[in-house]
Structure 1
Amino acid sequence: MRVVRAARLHLRDATSDKVYDVDLIENEALGTPERYFVNTRYGRRGATLREGSRTPEPLTAEAAARVFDSVVVSKINGGYRRVDGPETSAAPEATADGRAAVLRARLSACLHQSWAERDRDRLLWRIGELRLAAAAPDLIALARALGPARASYALVWALARAAGAEAGPVLATIAADAPGSVVRDLARFALAAPLTGAYRPPETEPDLPGMVARPAEAGDVDGLCGALDGLARHDPGRVGPTLVALGRRAQGSPGLHATLCAALLRLPARPPYLIGLRRLFKHAEMADDPALFGATARRFETAQAMYRAGRSHAYVPDLRRYVAVDSARRGPEARLGLSTATRAYMKRRIWRALRKRGAAGDPAFAALATGFLLALGPEDLDSPTRWTAWGRQPDGTWGRQARARGPLARNWTASQLLYRHAPEARPRAGSLTFLETGAIDPDRRDEAFPDLWSARPDLALRLAAEGRIEPVARLGLRVLRADPRSCAALNAAEIGRLLAAPHDPVRTFAFGIAQARLAAGIADPAELAALVAALLAAALPEARALALRRLAAGAPVGWSNPDLAAALLTSPEPDVQAALPDLARARALPPGLAAPLVARLVAWLRAMPPEPDAAATAAIRGLRAALPLLWPDRDMPVASETAAALIAHPAAAVRSAGLALLGQSEAGAAGLPPESWDALIGAESEDIRIAALFLLARLDDARLGPYADRVVAFASGPDSAVRQAARPLVARLAAADPGLAPRLARELIGSLFRAAPDDAYAADVVALLREALPGECAALDDGTLWRLLQARADGARRLGAALLLDRRAEALSVRQIARLGGHPYRAVRDWAMAAFAADPARFQAAAAEAVLLVESDWPDTLAFARGLFDSWPDTAWTPEALAVVTDSVKPEVLAFARHLLRGRLRPEDAEAQVLRLLEHPAPSMHLLLTELLTEQAVASEAAFVRLIPLARIVMLQVLRGRVAKDRMAAFLRAEALRSRARAEALLPLFADLTLSGTARDRSAAILALRDVADAHPGLAVPLVWRPPETRGTVSVSEGAR
């Protein structure tokens, strides 16, 4: 006996660590063709394996080989991996030629013998998988023998993939006469696909509804999805055939193909789209169509099942109720589809289609896998989860082991492609998920069939540059890094694609290659310019900085190559746009470069979509700003017809660029028809209005005059950039029309008193008035100026502040200048303080009004005022001036008032100040008042009457003002003892003090009442004299003595 073939399989998951061995044994002693057995050994790794056999009776070599393959494939589908050799060598036969010979022999036997349909279809499927062109004659003969009525799905599959163009007539017959729509559609798709070469029978019927055909042919993805959605609502039975027809037509139209694949990524794997999606997947699998395969496979791989298989009724979240499964999933208007079993089958079939190609060494594996991986997006990633579970340790013991699910754990196909050989990744065939027992190294070659990936560096480049999720991009990056020759062969355009990738590892890798190339030197000027242009377009700031340093050094010259110049002018990045003025000043644009550069710029603008994104809009604005730098003499070689085509573009940003190009050309405004001006100036887009205003500036005064009202409206309109662009035109209009200036000044000044449409409005209008209407600003009367300065509207205050700086101090009164010390604008306050310092005699002469300066809320003004007023002579401080200061209620002003009164108050003025202080509400002035209280200060009865309420306030304060209370109490007691009338007026106050306040104040009030009673007998003092109590002799105990 001898072992003909052997397979060693291994499965390890969360709770299992098993091996499965399969042997194909030949018993030479039997001497008959039926001498082969298939034996198995299985069990837990490290333990004694159980033995078994899959062949109770000996079989022929072919039959035993089929059993052997079936066992191995079933175990691999169940999650086992082969550990006895690379997957690409898992050949069922000794060599590819031997395998082909065996399959051809079986096909010949099938052609001449009666095989069961199931066995025949399995053979045909395998021939189609391997694309055995040598089997074409027998396949065609078998198809003719069976006829269209008995043609199966597997037969069409094999004919299309193995026979190709030779099978065209047979496939056309099947497409016309086969009874089943599945077989018919597959044959029709094969005839439309590149599988059958140039053989293309004419379409016999229009398959597409008009509402679907129009957006599909126009490349409108949104419109196509909307049309399919409308068809699904009104005629759901036609959705599936429509998708199949679209897939068929797309084989001959690259534009339609891209549109369909983009639309399929948005369609739900739900009725009525489900049937069409499944058939398109099968068609793409047959045709090895990477994009179509990827789009349909992604829809099934990421779909959620609508119901659990095996139940008669199911709750469908999409329908929000329970439905009978059998009735809801049948018919053209089925509402239910994609059970858990169907979804699992589709997920397994997607990976099986790829695995079979990989095992056979088919180059289509990498192409189809690339199509699938590029279809994945960030929305397909899950949040990583981590936990621990009990499991068998490597030493055989049980313990807690770390477990994790990565972002792609539930994506069976993606996980198989990316992590099939990762020791930390374990497939779970039951749930079709992957577990992670540790961190997977992103730079390690763990992908499935690495040899096939290494043979396609072009696909690795696509994955790295176009992959929308980082795990996919890293796969391409690993393949490129492992192949130095491919990296060295990358040209500037390919490096630019990598630099534009959305993932940092890819951009960093590309930047390293570009940096090394520049350091080594590039002899070809065109290649050098292309590489620098790619760096300018990169998202990495350090890449752009490197390119700008090279350009600043003159190697290469920025304007030496039209593509490089176009990259500079169309960059949306602020750092590149900021470097343009220096580059333009360093070297002028060569005459021979202008025309090709303009042609590239125009082509770039024409290719813009109707609604450019933010980056494209920023790039167009940067281009508009850069044009005057390169063509300062306005000699840009742009034809009026070219600019007109851009001005007619649906994108507002492109229209504004067209106006900018026209403005830098020799034709200028003359190249624009007169009837176009109203439409451009009245456009909704700010960019268009600004560009139109700049172009208007090239008109002479006579042609500019009719647009005066529009220009003036823009100069005070709601857009700041438009207002600034209109400002020079207003100046020209005002100079040309003397009657316009006064009217415009009145309107603009009036608008400043109203609510501003935006924060920049006030500054823009003030700048407009000062630059365009300086005469009207200088002619404003002092009353209007004061009204502007005191207005509540910020715009009016801003204009007043701007005009005040040109006025002399004599234009305003002393009181007005003092009030300006509290203005919110620093320039106004500085002007007021300068007026005080320049003419002190004027302000000292009107001191009562000048001291209003201390009422300012601004610390700078208050500090200035204190320093200035401290320097005034005593003669300047009249009682009226002091009264203004002391009447304030601001703490900082009152502190200054107390300072003035203590140092500048004349004795003869004390009585007047005391009378004012008696009514002051601030407690901080009470202490000062007690310092000024004298018999002379309150000699009049009116003053004394006003003193009593203030005294009550001071004396009844709790735990406050002790010094003021003591002074007030002493003064009132003295007045009460001096005058019987005043004592009688003070008795209620003293009586109240005996009932409230602190103990100290109560005692002082009682003593004051006693003294008043002694000094003025007969007064009704609220005191009762009681004799002291008589106490007896107190006995003291002997012990106490």
Structure 2
Amino acid sequence: MRVVRAARLHLRDATSDKVYDVDLIENEALGTPERYFVNTRYGRRGATLREGSKTPQPLTAEAAARVFDSVIVAKINGGYRRIDGPEPSAASEPSADGRAAVLRARLSACLHQRWPERERDRLLWRIGELRLAAAAPDLIALARALGPAQASYALVWALARAAGAEAGPILDAIAADAPGSVVRDLARFALAAPLTGAYRPPEAEPDLPGMVARPAEAGDVDGLCGALDGLAWHDPGRVGPALVALGRLAQGRPALHATLCAALLRLPARPPYLIGLRRLFKHAEMADDAALFGAAAQRFETAQAMYQAGRSHAYVPDLRRYVAVDAARHGPEARLGLSTATRAYMKRRIWRALRKRGAIGDQAFTALATGFLLALGPEDLDPPTRWTAWGRKPDGTWGRQPRARGPLGRNWTASQLLYRHAPEAQPRTGSLTFLETGAVDPDRRDEAFPDLWSARPDLALRLAAEGRIEPVARLGLRVLRADPGACAALDAAAIGRLLAAPHDAVRTFAFQIAQARLAAGIADSADLAALVAALLAAALPEARALALRRLEAGAPVVWSDPDLAAALLTSPEPDVQAAVPGLARALPPGLAAPLVARLVAWLRAMPPEPDAAATAAIRALRAALPLLWPDHDLPVQPETAAALIAHPAAATRSAGLALLAQSPAGADGLPPESWDALIGTGSEDIRIAALVLLARLDDARLGPYAERIVAFASGPGSAVRQAARPLVARLAAADPGLAPRLARELIGSLFRAAPDDAYAADVVALLREALPGECAALDDGTLWRLLQARADGARRLGAALLPDRRPAAFSVRQIARLGGHPYRAVRDWAMAAFAADPARFQAAAAEAVLLVESDWPDTLAFARSFFETWPEAAWTPGALAVVTDSVKPEVLAFARHLLRSRLRPEDAEGQVLRLLEHPAPSMHLLLTELLTEQAVASEAAFVRLIPLARIVMLQVLRGRVAKDRMATFLRAEALRSRARAEALLPLFADLTLSGTARDRSAAILALRDIAEAHPGLAVPLVRRPPEVRGPISPSAPVSEGAR
């Protein structure tokens, strides 16, 4: 034996340091052309290497060389680098024909010799990967030789992918008789998928519970997820088979397929869904079903492992306890699944399935990769993470190195697809993550297999327009930008899809293309209209502004193209809606009929439950219809409108009513029995549209609906109330007896809790516009009740009616109270009344000064300036008392000003008595200014002074001036009267025990003076004679301090 060729490869990343040796061996002893082997050695560098072989049977020199080169290329694609010579280029990879010949030769050998099952399955899997149609006869022969009982998973895979329809009968037999459910399900899926072409054997009714089948057939994703959750709760063993059956049924039904893929993205990769998800992934991998592959792969790529592989126990959140792994992960009611090892295997398998297709140039790579990338959403992005780790530096030393992981760093497949060739992205095969050594350039072509992406600009367009995360959309954008031909081929619909993308970079790219095309000029009017329509529907404000400028300039003519006109009328954007009145004009029948037909078709295509954007678009259309057909000549047949009115979507029914309201038929086009059902519906849009249509009735025919219209005018929904307002005015004018009763009911409703914030304003507007006579006839007492009510609606109505009343209708006290009203109009009216007749308010000064009690700064400022002008005579003791009795700081400041400037001497005693009971400390200083012997001459006044004096005197570090004044006055009173001195002794005694040193000293001196002035009083002082001390002896020691 001798080594003909040898190669040594090496792989090193953050956690791996591996070698892989390949040898091409010749065994001369065999003496036949088939005497060559390809052997391998692999393992960690420095450790004992494991040995293996890529050739179970000897091959010819040419075939063995191809296998040798294929192994080297595969390892280089996996990240290995040759360390014994130059790396082979892509050109050195065996040609497709040569590779097929080798595989067919090995399959022929397998057919005529007894191969180990593992080696045979590896060969079959590779044939299936390459989809070698030429191997179909040998595959079928092998399947017949083995029989359904020995058919393996790899055999079904190879038959379905390589033999196609020819293998249909064999697959049918395997689906019926194979012993394992995994193989049977795979064969059944192959028969249902496009792999087997037109061959479709009759299939038994799938084992699909009705609770799952109904929402799946209806396209209800939420309902399907709920049904699967319910099935998981009641019969978990049927969840996996149900998912497999749904995947099989979905192959020939696009609507069901889309529903299933959307539902899979919500199912967790854990029991009881785990088995079904895993089988669906394998089935989609076999059939190259991009959407199903992407949805299932996304669930495994982003899943969290439930337990650590190799451990005997794991925590189950549902049970809130640890359980034995072996007992909890088997059976139909398994609690555990998806260990760390299984999750790592699935992540590797997902990328391997894509990489193998990319390595052979299979366009299925781009389709499957697109399906996977479009399944990723914002919830799959992680926050960028930075940390440091101890490792070997490039210079060979050890130390801490910075580490960073991007938003997709833990998504192995996505990172491989997007950043495989980025120099800043470093794969870690051990943890299946990507580290970042720097910022990745979002505009650089770093994706895997860029040539395959460049060949599919249609998929790049999908990624850019539909990608839910920016890295995915950026990939599509890079591919499109790199292909000027693809950009030039983008039509208006494609540009519209890009303009509707959720990412700014994509929208800006599309806008720049549209802008350049408009600047260059578009000869075809239909293409121009389509592009402007796409700009109108864009989320980018600049795009809509450009479209509106073109329309206002008259190129294109907006109403000449039905699609463009429909885009204008159905745009929910405020800037577009604001431009519609300026562009609207009466349409001739030749333009109106195609436009109406286009709008009707759009409305009929609405789903039973339109989303918020579609509902807003329908509302915009309803608002624009009167602008185009103000003469009620919209060309629509009553039967067409009736079909829309019968639509299950409330928004569409309201649009049907709006079309009918602008048509010549008007309300006559609606059967009488339909009115009650429309008016009584719970949809606000339908009620508004019905009220607009009712406005087409004459007064006689409108009368029978009076009660319902009045109920709408005072019911919930501001838009409904506003729509009913003109009808109420018509009813009140036509029926004089209705107005008084309606006014009473509406005014009474204002005293109750409002159903919404706009109710009060709507009812007040209704009363003033529809019932002005009844509002003017309200008596003053009712108006006062409205103004003083707690309900905001009643106060609002009173504020609306008050400006029409004369101040003479209210008393001075009432007008002063209105100065504190919450509505500015009422306060302005009250202040104007004061200013218009000062004499009236001076005559009732005690009531007029209540104006200062207002909580509103504007009223208080007016009151101060107004009362400052009053003469001193106007300030009676009663008026001053009202001001000084307040507890508001700003009013008390005004009160102190008034007392100092307006108080007459003869009124001082009365004010002092009031101030003695005032709780505000800010008035204590003023009180000490007014304290005189005359002010507290009566014993009753003096008794009331003592508690206040205690409050003032016992303040700590506050009110020094007031305390000194109070102490001086009380000492004088105590020295003047023995009775008062006796009453003040407890206060002075308390002051000697608390307060500052200054206050205690003053209190002691006051007690001393009282004792001297009134002998015999029980003063709490003990006089002690000074201690008599002898002279200091000269010989006595003297301390240092004494010296």
Q: TM-score range by the shorter chain?
A: 0.7 to 0.9
CA–CA distance in 2 between the matches of 1:896 and 1:313?
Answer: 80
Indicate whether 1:126 and 2:139 are aligned: no
- CA 1:154–1:830: 2 relative to 1, 3 Å: closer
Report if the CA contact (8 A) 1:693-1:725 is conserved: yes
Q: What is residue 503 of structure 1 aligned with on the other side?
A: 503
Structure 1 contact 402–438 (Cα < 8 Å) conserved: no
Listed one character per residue, the Cα deviations across residues 663-712 of structure 1 (whole Å, up to 9, x for unaligned) are: 23333223333333333333223333333333322222222222222222
Stretch deviating more after TM superposition (237-246 or 654-663): 237-246
Aligned mates of 1:1039, 1:686 — CA distance in 2: 97
Query: How far off its partner does 1:330 sit?
Result: 5.9
Q: Are the structure 2 counterparts of residues 527 and 969 from structure 1 closer, same or farther at C-alpha, using a change threshold of 3 Å?
A: same
| Aligned equivalent of 1:475 | 475
Residues 1:656 and 1:2: Cα distance change in structure 2 (over 3 Å): farther
Say whether 1:253 aligns with 2:253: yes
Cα 1:1020–1:726 shift into 2, 3 Å: same
CA distance in 2, matches of 1:316, 1:973: 84
Cα shift readout 1:773-816 (whole Å, capped 9, x = no counterpart) = 22122112222222222223322222222221101111112232
Note if 1:58 corresponds to 2:35: no
| Structure 1 Cα separation of the partners of residues 723 and 245 of structure 2 | 55
Question: By how many angstroms is 1:170 displaced?
Answer: 4.6
CA gap of 1:3–1:833, structure 2 versus 1, over 3 A, is same
Residue by residue over 1:367-390, the C-alpha shift from the partner in whole angstroms, topping out at 9 and shown as x without a partner, is: 222222222333333444333334
CA–CA separation in structure 1 for the residues paired with 2:879 and 2:986: 37
Residue 14 of structure 1 and its aligned partner are, at CA, apart by 1.0
Match of 1:1007 in 2: 1005
Post-superposition offset of 1:453: 1.3
Deviation at 1:745, TM superposition (A): 2.1
| Alpha-carbon distance in structure 2 between the residues aligned to 1:924 and 1:337 | 76
**Closer/same/farther in 2, CA of residues 38 and 697 from structure 1, 3 Å limit:** same
Residue 2 to residue 426, structure 1, CA distance change in 2 (3 Å): farther
Equivalent residue of 1:805, what SS?
helix
Q: Name 2:969's counterpart in structure 1.
A: 971
SS at match of 2:309: coil
**Cα deviation digits, residues 459-480 of structure 1 (max 9, x gap):** 1111222222332222222222
CA RMSD of aligned residues (A): 4.9
Shift of 1:46: 15
> Which deviations, in whole Å up to 9, do the C-alpha atoms of 1:914-936 show, x marking residues without a partner?
67667766666666667667788
Pick which of 634-643 and 769-778 moved more: 634-643
TM superposition shift of 1:282: 3.4
Assess if the C-alpha contact under 8 Å between 1:271 and 1:334 holds in 2. Answer: yes
CA distance in structure 1 between the aligned counterparts of 2:924 and 2:335, rounded to whole angstroms:
89
Is contact 1:92–1:99 with CA below 8 Å preserved after alignment? Answer: no
Instruction: Answer whether contact 2:420 2:448 (CA < 8 A) is retained.
Output: yes
Taking structure 1 as reference, are residues 61 and 228 closer, same or farther at Cα in structure 2, changes over 3 Å only?
farther
More deviation, 1004-1013/930-939: 1004-1013
Mean Cα displacement is larger for which, 277-286 or 1001-1010?
Answer: 1001-1010
Offset at 1:554? 3.3
Contact residue 247 and residue 260 of structure 1 kept, 8 A:
yes
Q: Percent identity, aligned pairs only? A: 92
Q: In the aligned structure 2, how far is the partner of 1:85 from the partner of 1:565?
A: 68
Matched-pair contact (CA < 8 Å) for 1:88–1:449: no
Per mean C-alpha deviation after superposition, the further-off stretch among 850-859 and 805-814 is 850-859
Report how far residue 589 of structure 1 moved.
Answer: 4.4
3-state secondary structure, aligned to 1:388: strand
Once the two structures are overlaid, the 10-residue window that deviates more, 1015-1024 or 487-496, is 1015-1024
Deviation at 1:490, TM superposition (A): 1.1
Q: 1:772 Cα shift?
A: 1.9
Q: Which moved more, 1:647-656 or 1:761-770?
A: 647-656
Secondary structure in 2 matching 1:87: coil
- What residue is the counterpart of 1:534 in the other structure? 534
Q: Is the 8 A contact 2:301 2:411 kept in 1?
A: yes
Q: Helix, strand or coil for the counterpart of 2:625?
A: helix
CA contact (8 A) 1:634 1:666 kept: yes
Asked whether the 8 Å contact 2:122–2:154 carries over to 1, the reply is yes
Following TM superposition, by how much is the alpha carbon of 1:987 offset from its aligned partner in structure 2, in angstroms?
9.9
Separation (CA, whole Å) in 2 of partners of 1:387 and 1:648: 62
Closer/same/farther in 2, CA of residues 84 and 817 from structure 1, 3 Å limit: farther
Change (3 A) 1:172 1:868: closer
Rounded Cα–Cα distance in structure 2 between residues aligned with 1:985 and 1:317: 78
The answer to whether the 8 Å contact 1:15/1:392 transfers is no
Contact between 1:90 and 1:359, CA under 8 Å: does it hold in 2?
no
The farther-off stretch of 890-899 and 1010-1019 is 1010-1019
* 3-state SS in 2 of match to 1:18: strand
The offset of 1:455, in angstroms, is 1.0
Once the two structures are superposed, residues 191-220 of structure 1 have per-residue CA deviations (whole angstroms, 9 ceiling, x without a partner) of 333233323333355554544444333333
| Structure 2: runs of 5 or more not aligned | 1033-1037
d(CA) in 2 for partners of 1:818 and 1:989? Answer: 43
SS in 1 for 2:322: strand
Contact 1:325 1:336 in 2 (8 A): yes
Give the Cα separation in 1 of the matches to 2:1028 and 2:142. 147
Q: Please, what TM-score do these two structures have when normalized by structure 2?
A: 0.85
**Offset at residue 1021 of structure 1 (A):** 11
C-alpha distance in structure 2 between counterparts of 1:173 and 1:1038, whole Å: 122
Once the two structures are TM-superposed, the CA of residue 407 in structure 1 deviates from its matched residue by: 3.3
Instruction: Give the paired residue count.
Output: 1038
Q: Match of 2:4? A: 4
Length-normalised TM-score, structure 1: 0.85
Structure 2 distance, partners of 1:285, 1:979, is 112
Please tell me whether the aligned partners of residues 301 and 346 of structure 2 are also in contact (alpha carbons under 8 angstroms). yes
Which shifted more, 945-954 or 862-871? 945-954
Report the CA distance shift for 1:815/1:91 in structure 2 as closer, same or farther (over 3 A): same
Q: 538-547 or 962-971: which moved more?
A: 962-971
Deviation for aligned residue 1:484 = 1.7
Q: Deviations over 1:414-469 (max 9, x none)?
A: 33322222333333334433333433333222222221111111111112222223
Mark the CA change 1:36 to 1:1002 in structure 2 (over 3 Å): closer, same or farther: closer
1:314 Cα deviation after fit: 6.1
Aligned-partner Cα distance in 2 for 1:834–1:417: 77
What SS does structure 1 have at the residue aligned with 2:403? strand
Q: Deviations over 1:224-275 (max 9, x none)?
A: 4444455555655555554444333333222222233333334444455444
Question: Is the Cα–Cα contact under 8 Å of residues 711 and 726 in structure 1 kept in the other structure?
Answer: yes
SS at match of 1:37: strand
C-alpha displacement of 1:906: 5.6
* Alignment check: 8 A CA contact 2:66 2:99 kept: no
Residues 373 and 1037 of structure 1: CA distance in aligned 2, closer, same or farther (over 3 Å): closer
Q: Please give the per-residue CA displacement for 1:884-920, whole angstroms capped at 9, x wherever unaligned.
A: 4455555544554554455555666667666766776
Structure 2 distance, partners of 1:971, 1:436, is 85
SS of 2:30's partner is: coil
1:1025 is displaced (CA, Å) by 12
**Cα distance change on mapping 1:908 and 1:181 into 2, 3 Å:** closer
Structure with the greater relative contact order (CA < 8 A, sep ≥ 6): 1 or 2? 1
Cα deviation, 1:51-78, whole Å, max 9, x if unaligned, reads 9999999964267348636854885697
**SS of 1:822 mapped into structure 2:** coil
Equivalent residues of 2:495, 2:514 under 8 A apart? yes
Structure 1 regions of 5+ residues with no counterpart? Answer: none
Paired with 1:364 and 1:839, the residues of 2 have a C-alpha distance of: 92
Residue matched to 2:1035: none
CA distance in 2 between partners of 1:994 and 1:390 (Å): 74
In the alignment, the residues of structure 2 paired with residue 1016 and residue 354 of structure 1 have an alpha-carbon distance, to the nearest angstrom, of 113
Stretch deviating more after TM superposition (458-467 or 959-968): 959-968
Q: 2:81–2:87: 8 Å Cα contact kept in structure 1?
A: no
